[in-house]
Amino acid sequence: MKINKYNHFVFAVLLGFSLSGQAQSKQWTLEECVQYALEHNISIRQSELDTQSAAIDKKDAFGSFLPSVSASASHSWNIGLNQDITTGILQNQTTQFTSAGASVGIDIYRGLQNLNTLRRTNLSIVAAKYQLQKMKDDIALNVANAYLQVLFNKENLKVQNEQLAIDNKQLNRTQELVNAGNLPKGDLLDVKATIAADNQKIINAENALLISKLSLAQLLQLESFDNFDIADTNEFQMEQDILSETPTAIYDKAREERMELKIAQTNLEIAQKNVMIAKGAYQPTLRGFYNFNSRVSYADVALRDNTGAVIGTQSPPKFIDQFNDNKGQSFGFQLNVPVFNGFSVRNNVERSKVNYEKSKIALEQQELDLERNVYTAFTDVKGALKAYEAAIEALDSREQSYNYSKEKFEVGLMNSFDLSQSQTLLSNAQSEVLRTKYDYIFKTKILEFYFGIPIIKN
């Protein structure tokens, strides 16, 4: 029961795709597909946010060069027996007390940690941009592969339809020969069976085309792909210019162009800066500071005679007078010299050195992987070209063989079953030409990618 529901769902999706295709108003080119994917892909949007985060980290690093400024203020009420802040005498009174202060501090020297941190953040921004570009390159290549798959399925469907048209003509001719008594009725049944097989191949080809369109639409992350289809014009040519280059020349170019190597190199430089930052903690730090504070009291001041008896009160001094009279300032330098911190600094340095060595190994591995990939891609392109040329020769032979078989069938020297076998071999040869053609085109695109040629050529 679950399998039947799943089949019904798949059939409904494919049927909806097919019906909506009849009312389509737009056919996408490869350039439009790639541009749309680059603008709407979720991974790319996340990578762009990583770039923005790296830019914010740079602002943090730049801010460490600036002085830190803080200000504070407080106001309090003291009720009951309290000590007068001026005379020090305990009295029962209500006193309001206001204090204010400001401080400024600036790092003068921190073992060049601030400078190295800023340089590291600059490298992090570069690495984030390289990572974003690599993701765009990978997505463009995936879109091109999916686009080529749709083109292959379209052409394959045309081949199957053409084969069906040929077999329908053969059916009419066979019917005439059977009616004339030149062929047995069994040959007519064989041709009908061939046509039934052709219809099955067309159904499979249509399903493959619809699924490849659906895959491309999902790769583009379209919100609605009811009317999605690609242009029938072939934007790809069987170019062989890249094969005129040597694998060594392509590898040398790839070392300059490919983002994987640039990312690994930048990560190595970041690891080097981390070692320098960790070593900076061994050195003393020097910091300058300036502090300002003042206070104001709002209690009535008691008037006393020579015996100390209270004879009246007087208003407190003015706010501005108290503020000026009570203000204080301090400034100076603070020197911190690390002596022993439980080996934490040394361990951080050692840990940074280990990460640096890991980055060196990662860079070497990327260079080896790139070299292997380039040589493999070059060999794949040459092999794909030979396979395509062989498929062309095989198709030419199959066409001649089919034409010869058809002539023999017309004069009664071959039965319909053998003719059907010859037609099947011809159809397979045509499909193989299409398969090897698009396999060669895609592998060529990969090799061109290593050589710095973009998917979309301006």
Contact, 297 vs 325, CB < 8 A? no
Q: What is the pTM of this model?
A: 0.77
Mean pLDDT on 266-283? 94
Is 325 among the domain residues? no
409: confidence class by pLDDT, cuts 50, 70, 90? confident
**Between 301 and 280, the higher pLDDT residue:** 280
Provide the angle, in degrees to the nearest 10, between the axes of the packed helices 416-450 and 247-257.
50
pLDDT band at 77 (very low <50, low <70, confident <90, very high): confident
Decide if pLDDT at 13 tops 50.
no
- pLDDT higher than 90, residue 118: yes
Residue 434 falls within a domain, yes or no? yes
Is the pLDDT at 1 greater than 50, yes or no? no
Residue 367 within a domain: yes
Instruction: Examine residue 46 and state whether it is found in any structural domain, yes or no.
Output: no
Residue 326 covered by a domain: no
Number of folded domains that form the chain: 1
- Whether residue 11 is predicted with pLDDT greater than 70 in this model: the reply is no
Cα–Cα distance measured from residue 255 to residue 457, given in angstroms and rounded to the nearest whole number: 21
**Contact (CB, 8 A) for 291 and 329:** yes
Cβ proximity of 47 and 132 under 8 Å: yes
Distance (Å, whole) CA 130 – CA 261: 10
Confidence of residue 273 (pLDDT cuts 50, 70, 90): very high
Residue pLDDT, tens place only, 330-367: 999 999 998 888 888 999 999 999 999 999 999 999 99
- CATH classification at residue 437: 1.20.1600.10
Answer yes or no: is 179 within a domain.
yes
pLDDT digits (tens, 9 = 90+) for 200-259: 989 999 999 999 999 999 888 887 777 788 887 666 677 778 888 899 999 999 998 899
Classify 412 as helix, strand or coil.
coil
**Span 374-395, pLDDT tens digits:** 999 999 999 999 999 999 999 9
pLDDT value, residue 21: 42
Residue 172 lies in a domain: yes
Q: Which domain holds residue 404?
A: 2-40+110-283+338-450
In terms of C-beta distances under 8 Å and separation of at least 24 residues, what long-range contacts does 111-116 make, across chains too?
111/279, 111/280, 111/281, 111/282, 111/283, 111/284, 111/285, 112/276, 112/280, 112/283, 113/277, 113/280, 113/281, 114/61, 114/64, 114/65, 116/273, 116/276, 116/277, 116/280
- Work out the mean pLDDT of the chain and round it to a whole number: 84
Q: What is the pLDDT of residue 84?
A: 63
347 vs 411, residue with greater confidence: 347
Q: How does pLDDT run across 148-175, given as a tens digit for each residue?
A: 899 889 888 988 898 888 888 888 877 8
The reply to whether 229 falls in a domain is yes
Please state, in angstroms and as integers, the Cα–Cα distance from residue 159 to each residue in 19, 70, 227, 299, following that order: 22, 78, 24, 103
Percent above pLDDT 70 for the chain: 87
